[in-house]
Chain A
Amino acid sequence: MSIILDKVNYVYSEKTAYEIHALKNINLKIEDGEFIGVIGHTGSGKSTLIQHLNGLMHATSGGIYYNGQDIYDEDYDRKKLRGRVGLVFQYPEHQLFETTIFADVSFGPKNQGLSKKEAELKAFTALRSVGLPEDYWYRSPFELSGGQKRRVAIAGVLAMEPEVLILDEPTAGLDPRGRDEILDQVAKLHEERNMTIILVSHSMEDVAKYVERLIVMNQGSIMLDGTPGEVFAHYQELEAVGLAAPQITYLMHDLRKRGIQVPGIATTLEEAKEAILQAFKK
């Protein structure tokens, strides 16, 4: 089980004055059960890339294979693919529309052709898995706080039982606790169900804390691909394209420059703490 992108190109407004080559020869393999972060500045091609993964956008050239099947094949059921690769857009709470939270979350599976009972069962499980208390379920989604609304919107995608969950900046505009709650829930889905997660984020601290593999997009190409530690070791190259490493990584460099021998590349608070403790023990 995997997603393979083979020499994928995408050009916006082809053959006009506004032509933009948004994806350039992308080769990428996403294995089952990975937790991947995608970073890149605005306009680097992140959102274009993820919209290819569930077939919402059609590559100008190149091929995409989901579990070995060509999704551009004439007989391929792309509607079904969209159920298997769930995409949570930016500000997904703007897409809530039903009168109750429960009805909103049931909409997806009903739309997939399931019976009312089956759809409700899926909505039930999905709302449970995002941790929204049951006494909220039959209220209007518009009475909720920002973070709660967003969890309902994520439940709406989870109710379709996707194998892959893609989230485009799921924490934008949330307060720190709301941010931690959403990302902890996502990490739990990854651990408990081995769900493949792709997290698009502007927060280097968040990707450093949660993901196992980090992809850096720049000008439509994949610039770096590796563990957060490997990627953030290239902090100078990241800065050149308008990104940065987490503050913690810079701190480690500063300390080493001043003669404090902190071991390894730290990208999270825990790693930094361990490294500093070790350096001071010697």
Chain B
Amino acid sequence: MNFIEARKLVHEYIRRDEEGNVESILTALNQVDLDVKQGEFVAVLGHNGSGKSTLAKHLNVLLSASGGTLWVDGKDTENADNLWAIRQNAGMVFQNPDNQIIASVVEEDVAFGPENIGVPTPEIWKRVERSLKSVGMIKYREHSPNRLSGGQKQRVAIAGVMAMEPKCIVLDEPTAMLDPNGRREVLDAVEQLNKEKGITVILITHYMEEVVRADRVYVMDNGKVVMQGNPRSIFSQVDTLKSYRLDVPQITMLAYELKKEGFNIPEGILTRQELVEALCQLY
């Protein structure tokens, strides 16, 4: 069985008036099927309001479905007894680092999660050290979080999730508020956790460049999964992506434009190196 398996998942936001009558129904997830294997790096793309964040919040049962089924780590999210086990195994990181940090010292912040689930103290210290090392923040362990940069804060938030020793991390636009350096720091840390520790990663983002690192990409529109595949096959469909209010990385776009001018370049160029090689072959 896959680590995450969603079948015909539906979520409806129902708005009621003062008397409790239904005023409107917004279907944020519409029959979504999602399969993520243990250890995969999956990116989810979609415009504002396409249902990405609603989907993310189902993965650790912050929201529960209006219809369909969702199994995480072999456990049914419908069953209330599974709730805590699922939340421990699917950690969430949100957009704004300032909303996720609660302690006044970095290591205490990272320790909060395991402490909360009753991990013995010596084990907590081991986990804190391991998690801070894994995101490259160990030398800031005794610092105050409010004096860190955005990228550093976000890495502390990821360490806080790692200290729970989850099998999966769900990141909901973790770099939206960061500068280019911070974005790279966070993405490098995430990629390392995925490659070296085999953590399953679900990355929700608006930055097309970040998606290039993923194994597989899901594209959402109006609550539906409208495209899926590896980054190369997704980004070779420039016009389709644009119709979903999305874009492709700048390099891919340039390759696409050159192709239209008659250059014989392969489809779905993702990186600078690939485009340089392709052009050198033609020169």
Q: Which residues of A contact B (CB under 8 A)?
A: 41-43, 145-147, 172-178, 202, 204-205, 242-244, 246-248, 250-251, 254-255, 258-260, 269, 272-273, 276-277, 279-280
Instruction: Give residues of chain B (59-115) contacting chain A, Cβ–Cβ below 8 Å.
Output: 95
A174 to B246 alpha-carbon distance, docked (Å): 10
Q: Pick from B47, B245, B279: contact of A260, CB below 8 A.
A: B279
A248 to B206 alpha-carbon distance, docked (Å): 20
Please, which residue of chain A has its CB at the minimum distance from the CB of B15? A143
Question: Assuming the A-B contacts A202-B178, A247-B250, are A173 and B272 also in contact, with contact meaning beta carbons closer than 8 angstroms in the complex?
Answer: no
Cross-chain pairs A/B with CB under 8 angstroms, 27 sampled: A41-B179, A42-B179, A42-B181, A172-B177, A174-B48, A175-B46, A176-B47, A176-B208, A178-B47, A178-B48, A202-B180, A242-B179, A247-B209, A247-B272, A248-B250, A248-B251, A251-B275, A254-B272, A254-B276, A255-B279, A258-B280, A260-B280, A269-B254, A272-B254, A273-B257, A273-B261, A280-B263
- A173-B173, A258-B280 are known; give 13 further A-B pairs, CB within 8 A: A42-B150, A42-B179, A173-B177, A176-B47, A202-B179, A250-B272, A254-B272, A255-B276, A259-B283, A273-B258, A279-B283, A280-B263, A280-B283
Q: How many residues of B contact A (CB 8 A)?
A: 40
Q: How far is the CB of A228 from chain B (nearest CB, A)?
A: 14
Please indicate the chain A residues that have their CB under 8 angstroms from the CB of B151 in the complex. 42
Please indicate the chain B residues that have their CB under 8 angstroms from the CB of A242 in the complex. 179-181
A211 to B204 alpha-carbon distance, docked (Å): 29
Please indicate the chain A residues that have their CB under 8 angstroms from the CB of B275 in the complex. 251
- Are B272 and A175 touching (Cβ within 8 A)? no
Please indicate the chain B residues that have their CB under 8 angstroms from the CB of A251 in the complex. 251, 254, 272, 275-276
Q: How far is the CB of A218 from chain B (nearest CB, A)?
A: 12
A244 to B279 alpha-carbon distance, docked (Å): 23
Q: Which residues of B contact A (CB under 8 A)?
A: 46-49, 95, 149-151, 173, 176-182, 206, 208-209, 242, 245-247, 249-251, 253-254, 257-258, 261, 263, 272-273, 275-276, 279-280, 282-283
A15 to B177 alpha-carbon distance, docked (Å): 31
A4 to B246 alpha-carbon distance, docked (Å): 40
A246 to B272 alpha-carbon distance, docked (Å): 11
Please indicate the chain A residues that have their CB under 8 angstroms from the CB of B208 in the complex. 176
- Are B246 and A176 touching (Cβ within 8 A)? yes
Please indicate the chain A residues that have their CB under 8 angstroms from the CB of B272 in the complex. 247, 250-251, 254
Please, which residue of chain B has its CB at the minimum distance from the CB of A251? B272
Please, which residue of chain B has its CB at the minimum distance from the CB of A246? B250
Q: How far is the CB of B175 from chain A (nearest CB, A)?
A: 10
A99 to B201 alpha-carbon distance, docked (Å): 40
A42 to B98 alpha-carbon distance, docked (Å): 14
Please, which residue of chain A has its CB at the minimum distance from the CB of B48? A146
Q: How far is the CB of B15 from chain A (nearest CB, A)?
A: 10
Question: Assuming the A-B contacts A42-B182, A145-B49, A242-B179, are A176 and B206 also in contact, with contact meaning beta carbons closer than 8 angstroms in the complex?
Answer: yes
Please, which residue of chain B has its CB at the minimum distance from the CB of A238? B180
Question: Assuming the A-B contacts A177-B246, A247-B251, A276-B258, are A145 and B279 also in contact, with contact meaning beta carbons closer than 8 angstroms in the complex?
Answer: no
Interface pairs A-B: 9 shortest CB-CB = A176-B247, A177-B245, A175-B47, A242-B181, A146-B48, A173-B176, A254-B276, A202-B179, A145-B49
